[in-house]
Amino acid sequence: MMGSESIRSVAVVGCGTVGASWAALFLAGGYDVVATDPAPEAERKLRGFIDRARPQLATLGLNGRGSLTFVDNLEAAVSTADFVQENAPENEAFKRALLARIDQAARPDAIVAISTSALLRSRIVADCEHPERHIVAHPFNPPHLLPLVEIVGEDDAVIARACAFYRSLRRKPVVLKKEVPGHIANRLSSALYREAVYLVEQGIASVADIDAAISEGPGLRWSIMGPHMTYHLGGGEGGIAHYLEHLGPSQERRWASLGEPRLTEDVKGAIVSGVEAEAGGRSIADLEAQRDHLLVEILRLKNKASS
Amino acid sequence: MMGSESIRSVAVVGCGTVGASWAALFLAGGYDVVATDPAPEAERKLRGFIDRARPQLATLGLNGRGSLTFVDNLEAAVSTADFVQENAPENEAFKRALLARIDQAARPDAIVAISTSALLRSRIVADCEHPERHIVAHPFNPPHLLPLVEIVGEDDAVIARACAFYRSLRRKPVVLKKEVPGHIANRLSSALYREAVYLVEQGIASVADIDAAISEGPGLRWSIMGPHMTYHLGGGEGGIAHYLEHLGPSQERRWASLGEPRLTEDVKGAIVSGVEAEAGGRSIADLEAQRDHLLVEILRLKNKASS
């Protein structure tokens, strides 16, 4: 079994937002990248993204300079890679056929990592001859900044090699014991969002105030620790055991009171106009730049605190 | 109508974790505080907390030095205050009786703010002669650090004065248009926690990995922006309208797949042992100190970015 040190070259298949972000990360980690994407101008857009991401990654200590090659042909892109990161659109039939092609063309010891947020691994690897070397490796937007990578696989050795590879890139791989739609983080995000939509539907507060109730409150804590650990600290000296014993019943009562909204045209309209008011004229590009600036600084703080 | 500049002295009723934290904040904001609490050693514990919180608050630019007086008698504590912050235990009957006493003893123009997380304002102000000057003002733990204050009231002028007061303390007041159990942030937290418990119940991942799926992923974004704005940025150039049009149906499908766990003894046991493993021997005091250090630094970053 080879370790992550055996991985030197990475193929990036699909260079949209996610693929370009992965490519920037791999290059900054010192890996050589061969990228491919059938879209017009894909190479120009990819190189532009990498140039913009490089200083952010350098700030986070990722100063490597792998070489980037762009090729038009899928088989040529993956045939020499030690690791393939696949980022095609979220279409089950398309992805299933693409993974079968990659499986045919890739070296026998190459790992194929799939950036899917919504599809089930078991269904999209169904036509592969060697499904055991295919894993889900789902990043979080923006992937070159957020450390989380959700891993679903079937072969422990493959999973261990992939985790070591991602850790070499300062990622935090989280391994699921079973596959489940939406993995972990998108399920948790959707659960929160359902209630956020319910509060809009019920007219409890403005969209901007609902957002602030997260970003000026529990969201600040969640950038440091997850929900279980948060309640551990909410339990006083008795910790999570005390919390669950004494406040578990009130959690269960609140769960029973949570809403089940529907995204009707009215609700969608209220959300859209509320977000517009909250954005206050700032463009999406501006909002992204502000967010990414803060993300980089928060990640630096966290790296410093844990080192 | 008087503005927040008319508020100079604040009574803090109940000096547990929340009351002590409010007192530290008010003093650092330059307000004079009269505190009361019937518990043994309440004054000593309060002064200890304030001493520890002072440098954190100074780091956040709150350098004021109000005077602190501790009194044994509730009526004496509230009789001269411009603003009363009430922090008694979360017991409806107790709180209802206490608020009626405060209402009798406080000056007619004083605002009474209630730090309740779970009780409904309409029920606990029912015995007050002047319920309109009573508002819910629910902070988030640790209250002297997290900016969020959730406000529920019935008189717009009272709400406006209270918001101005909290803003003078660099808080972010969020005003609910109607009361609802758990206000906003605890409902959103509970929605997320229900799914986090479900993932433990179903054995999808370890407690530590479920926590990391937040704190290394969406939790980092939520420290900067709330869920609606997050999906605005997830919609590409079309923003939230595009997101809801194209991915709304997949949100609704995921909502339908979310779990409805119960906090059985088995599930509680799995959470407790999982949190223990995640804490890895770190005490709650250590974890809190680490969290608060990072919180202060993140808040500084955000203040700087928005100034």
Torsion of CA A270, A274, A277, A278, to 10 degrees: -170
What local confidence, expressed as pLDDT, does residue A59 receive?
95
Within an 8 Å CB–CB cutoff, is residue B307 touching chain A? no
Within an 8 Å CB–CB cutoff, is residue B306 touching chain A? no
Which tokens go with A102?
């990659």
> How far is B297 from A298, CA to CA, in rounded Å?
8
Which residues in chain A are contacts of B244 at CB distance < 8 A? 263, 268, 271-272
**What CATH number labels A185-306?**
1.10.1040.10
**pLDDT tens-digit profile of B58-102?**
999 999 999 999 999 999 999 999 999 999 999 999 999 999 999
Task: Please give the average per-residue pLDDT across A289-293, as a whole number.
Answer: 95
Nearest CA in chain A to B194: A255
Domain positions in chain A are: 4-175, 185-306
| CATH ID of B185-224+262-306, from 3.40.50.720, 1.10.1040.10, 1.10.3720.10, 3.30.450.40 | 1.10.1040.10
Confidence of residue A5 (pLDDT cuts 50, 70, 90): low
> How far is B240 from B230, CA to CA, in rounded Å?
9
Which residues in chain B are contacts of A216 at CB distance < 8 A? 146-148, 172, 174
**pLDDT tens-digit profile of A93-139?**
999 999 999 999 999 999 999 999 989 999 999 999 999 999 999 99
CA A289 to chain centre: 18
**pLDDT tens-digit profile of A40-82?**
999 999 999 999 999 999 999 999 999 999 999 999 999 999 9
Q: Do domains B4-175 and B185-224+262-306 have the same CATH topology?
A: no
Which tokens go with B204?
């999808």
Within an 8 Å CB–CB cutoff, is residue A185 touching chain B? yes
Which residues in chain B are contacts of A224 at CB distance < 8 A? 215, 219, 290-291, 294-295, 298
> Which parts of chain B have pLDDT scores under 70?
1-5
Under DSSP, the state recorded for B152 is E
Region label for A263, one of left (φ > 0), alpha (ψ between -120 and 50) or beta (otherwise): beta
Under DSSP, the state recorded for B105 is H
Which residues have C-beta within 8 Å of that of residue B219, sequence separation ≥ 6?
A: A219, A222, A223, A224, A226
What local confidence, expressed as pLDDT, does residue B1 receive?
36
Beta bridge partners of B35: B12, B70
Within an 8 Å CB–CB cutoff, is residue B2 touching chain A? no
CA-angle at B17, arms to B15 and B19, nearest 5°: 40
Which tokens go with A16?
């949209």
> How far is B179 from B138, CA to CA, in rounded Å?
12
Which tokens go with A210?
């609902």
> How far is B193 from B259, CA to CA, in rounded Å?
11
Predicted confidence (pLDDT) at residue A1 exceeds the cutoff of 70? no
Q: Residue with structure tokens 């859209």?
A: A272
> How far is A92 from B28, CA to CA, in rounded Å?
57
Which residue out of B59, B138, B169, B240 would a mutagenesis test of the A interface target, given it has the greatest number of A Cβ atoms within 10 Å? B240
> What percentage of chain A has pLDDT greater than the value 70?
98
A positions 69-128 inside 8 Å of B (CB): 118
Whole-number Cα distances in Å, A31 to A58, A167, B118: 15, 13, 52
Nearest to A229, CA basis, from B182, B265, B189: B189
What local confidence, expressed as pLDDT, does residue B250 receive?
92
Question: Treating both helix axes as pointing N-terminal to C-terminal, what angle do B207-215 and A227-234 enclose, rounded to 10 degrees?
Answer: 100
Under DSSP, the state recorded for B87 is -
> How far is A33 from A27, CA to CA, in rounded Å?
7
Q: Residue with structure tokens 């595009």?
A: B242
What local confidence, expressed as pLDDT, does residue B2 receive?
41
**Amino acid symbol at B193:** Y
CA B90 to chain centre: 14
Which residues have C-beta within 8 Å of that of residue B264, sequence separation ≥ 6?
A: none
What local confidence, expressed as pLDDT, does residue A307 receive?
77
**Cβ B219 vs Cβ A222: under 8 Å:** yes
Which residue out of A179, A193, A260 would a mutagenesis test of the B interface target, given it has the greatest number of B Cβ atoms within 10 Å? A193
What local confidence, expressed as pLDDT, does residue B123 receive?
97
CA distance B105 to chain A (A): 32
What local confidence, expressed as pLDDT, does residue B4 receive?
57
**What CATH number labels A4-175?**
3.40.50.720
Q: Residue with structure tokens 């000057």?
A: B133
Under DSSP, the state recorded for B89 is -
Region label for B136, one of left (φ > 0), alpha (ψ between -120 and 50) or beta (otherwise): beta
**What DSSP line would sit under B163-191, residue for residue?**
HHHHHHTT-EEEE-SS--TTTTHHHHHHH
Nearest to A100, CA basis, from A58, A57, A133: A133
> How far is B284 from A240, CA to CA, in rounded Å?
10
In the predicted model, what is the mean pLDDT of chain A? 96
Which residues in chain B are contacts of A260 at CB distance < 8 A? 255
Whether the CA torsion B299, B301, B305, B307 is positive or negative: it is positive
The length of chain B is 307
**Cβ B31 vs Cβ B9: under 8 Å:** yes
* Beta-sheet strand order (sheet of A68-70): A68-70, A32-36, A9-13, A83-86, A111-114, A134-139, A148-152, A172-175
Whole-number Cα distances in Å, A188 to A184, A215, B137, B196, B283: 6, 16, 27, 7, 27
Nearest to A295, CA basis, from B235, B223, B232: B223
Which residues have C-beta within 8 Å of that of residue B79, sequence separation ≥ 6?
A: B105, B106, B107
A positions 255-294 inside 8 Å of B (CB): 255, 257-258, 260, 262-263, 268, 271-272, 274-275, 278-279, 284, 287-288, 290-291, 293-294
What local confidence, expressed as pLDDT, does residue B167 receive?
97
What local confidence, expressed as pLDDT, does residue A2 receive?
41
A100-118: string of b/e by CB count within 10 Å (b at 16+)?
bebbebbeeebbbbbbbbe
C-beta atoms of A209 and B272 within 8 A: no
**Cβ A193 vs Cβ B272: under 8 Å:** no
**What DSSP line would sit under chain A, residue for residue?**
---GGG--EEEEE--SHHHHHHHHHHHHTT-EEEEE--STTHHHHHHHHHHHHHHHHHHTT------EEE-S-HHHHHTT-SEEEE---S-HHHHHHHHHHHHHHS-TT-EEEE--SSS-HHHHTTT-S-GGGEEEEEE-SSTTT--EEEEE-S-HHHHHHHHHHHHHTT-EEEE-SS--TTTTHHHHHHHHHHHHHHHHHTTSS-HHHHHHHHHTTHHHHHTTS-HHHHHHHHTGGGHHHHHHHHHHHHHHHHHHH-------HHHHHHHHHHHHHHHTT--HHHHHHHHHHHHHHHHHHHHHHH-
